[in-house]
Amino acid sequence: MSVTDAWNGPIGRHWADHPDRYNAMLAGFDAPLFDAAVIAAADRVLDIGCGSGHTTRTAARRAPRGRVTGVDISEPLLERARSLTPAEEYPSVSYESGDAQTHPFEPGGYDVAISRGGVMFFADHIAAFTHVAGALRPGGRLAFICPQPARADGEESKALGLLASLLGRDHASENTVATAMASLSDPKRLHEVLGAAGFTEISAAAVDAATRWGRDAADAVEFFVSRTPGLAVSAATRAAMTEVLLPHETPDGVLLRAGVWVVSARRPG
């Protein structure tokens, strides 16, 4: 299945059906992302792979005199984004359906481009980031997050790997989306890609945060299982999966530490 089909199929629909879950999962990365983006009050902001629009709306609150465009390839997610972004509250936000690798952005039309995990899915990273650079004004900034390499002893990758293996699946290589997730995890590659795309002042800072997977272990298992529609899971398997997550239960829910790169770069002025 292609990346576009996946984000318009079960994975995209799952993200569209559970925006609060995914936003809670990624919340720990928002402050580092927005610190790197340094959005000013009158900035024109492009949110690449905006999904259900959480970061698009955050950007709009940070740029009350600017405007924000969210672009995404997923129709279910764009529909959710529009429904969560009332025009009265967010008059400067618009959403566009399109592939950010080739979408006809206004040349130099943005001061800042951001992405919370939407840029790893590009088929040709150098061509795509070159295109994004063209959408930024000279001196414009790029800030995004993408996963660090999965470590065998990493809390989130270890727990999710165990859950997947209990379901008889290989979490890391299961589908196109999971494979693409890791495409920018090597910081050397990140620097090469962004340099080749014409960016300068490239930096990739390691940030760790707790991702929240559910209220408690059983709830997190339900959520994990629900990501594969129609999957039949026995009570015994659910119980074994719950055991995996029990050590990660906290008063704030099931928390699994995970690492991302917070990447920033600039289009030369």
Ligand X SMILES: C[S@@+](CC[C@H](N)C(=O)[O-])C[C@H]1O[C@@H](n2cnc3c(N)ncnc32)[C@H](O)[C@@H]1O
- Under rule CB under 6 A, residue 118 binds ligand X: yes
> Contact letters (x/-) for ligand X, 55-74, by CB under 6 A?
x---------------xxxx
Q: Is 76 in the site for ligand X (CB under 6 A)?
A: no
Examine residue 263 and tell whether it contacts ligand X (CB under 6 A).
no
| Pairing mode of beta strands 253-266, 136-147 | antiparallel
Distance CA 23, CA 54 (A): 7
Identify whether the C-beta of residue 74 lies closer than 8 Å to the C-beta of residue 16: yes
Applying CB under 6 A, which of residues 10, 22, 45, 194 lies at the interface with ligand X?
Answer: 22
Distance from C-alpha of 1 to C-alpha of 243, rounded to nearest angstrom: 32
We find the least distance from the C-beta atom of residue 107 to ligand X, in angstroms, to be 18
Part of the chain binding ligand X (CB under 6 A), chosen from 38-46, 51-59, 168-176, 260-268 = 51-59
> Does the footprint of ligand X cover residue 207 (CB under 6 A)?
no
Least distance to ligand X, CB of residue 159, Å: 19
- Determine, following the binding rule CB under 6 A, whether residue 101 of this chain makes contact with ligand X: yes
CB 243, min distance to ligand X, A: 28
29 binding ligand X? (CB under 6 A) = no
SS3 string, 104-148, reads CCCCCCEEEEEEECCCCCCCCHHHHHHHHHHHEEEEEEEEEEEEC
Residue 117 contacts ligand X per CB under 6 A: yes
Among 50, 112, 150, 167, binds ligand X (CB under 6 A): 50
Question: Does the footprint of ligand X cover residue 121 (CB under 6 A)?
Answer: yes
Q: Whole-angstrom Cα distance, residue 57 to residue 69?
A: 10
Q: 253-266 and 200-214: which strand pairing?
A: antiparallel
- Residue among 77 and 159 whose Cβ is closer to ligand X: 77
Rounded Cα–Cα distance for residues 184 and 194 (Å): 11
User: Of 43-51, 203-211, 241-249, 261-269, which part binds ligand X (CB under 6 A)?
Assistant: 43-51
Q: Where are the alpha helices (DSSP H) in the chain?
A: 3-8, 10-17, 19-26, 30-37, 54-62, 75-83, 125-135, 155-166, 176-181, 187-196, 217-226, 235-245
Task: Give the footprint of ligand X on this chain (CB under 6 A).
Answer: 3, 7, 12, 22, 26, 49-52, 54-55, 71-74, 77, 99-101, 116-118, 121-122
